[in-house]
């Protein structure tokens, strides 16, 4: 009987020991995990550090891992903006000129100067055509490629036609569109920046005009603005008041019924605000634009005056143009024209 009791107690003890071992094993793992976390700098920082290390190790072992997106998203806003600019630059450099997007549909066709600068190194003829007149070009040093790409003339295409019809090219215009050329050039602004300029001229003087403005640009002759007069709804007075250099506008001579040389695209007005038209009469003088009345006094010290000693005058004169500044009763200091036989 005693032996049976001892055997029973032994079995009970063994079962109790097995139970205690299982219980201790069950609670041991969570305890050691928490201790591992707190061994660095508390449970939270330990877990975070482990996650960070895992992400970095994963990216190092597999450069194409999707975890790169997680790391990128953790960058600061400034870094994201810099990365975006870098991506756009790289995309632009890898884009052929013909693939370059046109100017934004929300942007005005021309006449506005943009804060952005277009790199001259990227300006092919096609790329230049996508930029509006008035765009600033970042030019380090003029070269043959720049001059060839940025100084040219072409036929009046549909986009230009849509800008001039019922404005400078009025419904009663007798000049065929085929007799006109659209000119693109660069000019040196009053602020010493390089700008894209545009004109419409008669085809017989288009080559002369390109050569003249190439010469003026290379010599850094200052011109304030050069967009089509259509940007001012073909209002010659408004264009002159804005000191806008322009050419073609189908209109009569001020105060008369006969066509101006501008109506044929054979005349051009340069910096008209500072070089006004003056008509002397018994009652006094008519000065246009009115805003330039003070500059009818040619004795003033003004760097934008055109004179017969002036680079601008010489560039036109040697190519057969007449300067309106020589007209005695109505000098037109802004005006150059050419007579074609």
Task: Read off the pLDDT of residues 26-55 as tens digits, 9 standing for 90 and up.
Answer: 544 433 333 333 333 333 333 333 333 333
Alpha helix segments (H runs only) across 189-304 = 206-218, 236-241
Q: What does the pLDDT read at residue 221?
A: 98
Answer yes or no: are the C-beta atoms of 131 and 118 closer than 8 Å.
yes
Torsion angles phi and psi, residue 272, rounded to 5: -65, -25
Residue 317 lies in a domain: yes
Q: What does the pLDDT read at residue 22?
A: 65
Domain span including residue 131: 97-337
Answer yes or no: are the C-beta atoms of 293 and 300 closer than 8 Å.
no
Q: Which three-class secondary structure state does DSSP give residue 24?
A: helix
Q: What does the pLDDT read at residue 27?
A: 47
> Across residues 174-181, what is the average pLDDT?
97
Question: Which of 112-121, 125-134, 259-268, 274-283 has the least mean pLDDT?
Answer: 112-121
Residue that wins the pLDDT comparison between 7 and 133: 133
Alpha helix segments (H runs only) across 219-310 = 236-241
CA 281/CA 278 separation, integer angstroms: 10
Number of domains in the chain: 1
Answer yes or no: are the C-beta atoms of 307 and 313 closer than 8 Å.
yes
Residue 56 lies in a domain: no
Q: Which three-class secondary structure state does DSSP give residue 293?
A: helix
Angle (nearest 5°) at CA 253 between 247 and 257: 135
Specify the length of the chain in residues. 341
Q: List, in sequence order, every beta strand (DSSP E) within the chain.
A: 117-119, 136-138, 152-155, 180-188, 194-202, 267-269, 277-281, 284-288, 322-323, 335-337
Residue that wins the pLDDT comparison between 61 and 341: 341
DSSP bridge partners of 14: none
Answer yes or no: are the C-beta atoms of 117 and 136 closer than 8 Å.
yes
DSSP state of 259: B
CA 43 to chain CA mean position, Å: 55
CA 282/CA 31 separation, integer angstroms: 110
What is the four-CA torsion angle of 167, 170, 173, 176, rounded to 10 degrees?
50
Residue listed under structure tokens 């060839």:
148
Q: Edge to edge, what strands does the sheet with 152-155 contain?
A: 117-119, 136-138, 194-202, 180-188, 152-155
Q: Quick one: tokens of 5?
A: 């009791």
Residue 179 lies in a domain: yes
Q: Which three-class secondary structure state does DSSP give residue 119?
A: strand
Residue 24 lies in a domain: no
Answer yes or no: are the C-beta atoms of 244 and 227 closer than 8 Å.
yes
Residue 210 has pLDDT above 70, yes or no: yes
Residue 4 lies in a domain: no
Residue 33 lies in a domain: no
DSSP state of 260: P
Residue 307 lies in a domain: yes
201: left (phi over 0), alpha (psi -120 to 50) or beta: beta
Residue 25 lies in a domain: no
Q: What's the pLDDT tens digit per position in 292-337?
A: 999 999 999 999 999 999 999 999 999 999 999 999 999 999 999 9
Answer yes or no: are the C-beta atoms of 132 and 153 closer than 8 Å.
no
Q: Name the most confidently modeled range: 37-41, 102-106, 219-223.
A: 219-223
């Amino acid at each position: 009987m005693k032996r049976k009791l001892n055997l029973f107690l032994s079995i009970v003890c063994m079962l109790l020991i097995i139970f205690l071992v299982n219980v201790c094993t069950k609670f041991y793992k969570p305890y050691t995990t928490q201790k591992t976390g707190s061994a660095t700098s508390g449970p939270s920082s330990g877990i975070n550090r482990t996650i960070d290390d895992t992400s970095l190790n994963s990216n190092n072992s597999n450069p194409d891992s999707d975890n790169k997106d997680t790391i990128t998203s953790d960058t600061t806003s400034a870094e994201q903006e810099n990365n975006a600019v870098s991506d756009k630059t790289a995309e632009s450099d890898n884009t052929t000129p013909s693939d370059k997007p046109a100017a934004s549909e929300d942007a005005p066709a021309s006449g506005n100067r943009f804060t952005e600068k277009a790199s001259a190194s990227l300006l092919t003829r096609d790329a230049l055509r996508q930029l509006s007149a008035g765009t600033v070009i970042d030019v380090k040093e003029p070269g043959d490629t720049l001059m060839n790409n940025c100084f040219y003339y072409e036929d009046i295409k549909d986009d230009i036609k849509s800008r001039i019809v019922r404005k400078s090219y009025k419904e009663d215009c007798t000049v065929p569109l085929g007799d006109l050329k659209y000119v693109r050039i660069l000019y040196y602004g009053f602020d010493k920046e390089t700008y894209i300029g545009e004109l419409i001229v008669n085809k017989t003087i288009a080559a002369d005009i390109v050569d003249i403005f190439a010469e003026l640009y290379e010599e850094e002759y200052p011109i304030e603005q050069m967009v089509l007069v259509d940007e001012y709804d073909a209002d010659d007075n408004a264009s002159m008041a804005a000191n806008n250099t322009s050419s073609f506008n189908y209109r009569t001579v001020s105060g008369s019924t006969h066509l101006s040389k501008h109506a044929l695209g054979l005349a051009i007005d340069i910096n008209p605000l500072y070089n006004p038209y003056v008509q002397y009469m018994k009652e006094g003088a008519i000065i246009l634009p009115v805003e330039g009345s003070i500059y009818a006094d040619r004795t003033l010290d003004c760097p934008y005056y055109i004179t017969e000693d002036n680079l601008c005058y010489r560039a036109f004169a040697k190519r057969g143009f007449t300067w309106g500044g020589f007209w005695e009763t109505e000098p037109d200091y802004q005006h150059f024209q050419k007579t074609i036989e």
